[in-house]
Amino acid sequence: MTEKATKESGLQRHIGIKKYGKKGFEELQAAGREGASEKEKGAIKDKHLPKKKTNEGLSSKVEHLVSQKDELEKMLITIQTNMIDQLTLLGANAFDTIYHKKKKCTCGKDECKCEGK
């Protein structure tokens, strides 16, 4: 084997292991030595490739779900803040209504300066 063929074969091995994993590349090597058809070698490749793609797909789904969760948490916090503000105003209005009623003077006017004389 020439030096050029050895370098190419080493490069192909490196790329194959990186792409299909060591086990997958060794299965492809064995299939190639045994004279497997392109269809058979394709099946071996498919067996080892989907795992990585599936993990990448799941990873992107997880990232999407996390971002949705964060948005829902922000919405919930906003709703809670608004409810607290509204209940505070409602309580203040109720307090004012109960304890700060305008008292009519004995003369019958709502506001007068006679103070019941």
Report pLDDT digits (tens) over 25-55: 888 888 888 888 888 888 888 787 755 566 7
What pLDDT does 89 receive? Answer: 92
Number of domains in the chain: 1
- On whether residue 112 sits in a domain, the answer given is no
Res 117: pLDDT: 60
DSSP helix/strand/coil, 34? coil
Condensed to tens digits (0 to 9), the pLDDT of residues 67-84 reads 999 999 999 999 999 999
Domain assignment present for residue 33? The answer is yes
pLDDT value for 76: 97
pLDDT at 7 over 60: no
Determine the structural domain holding residue 27 and report its residue range: 3-84
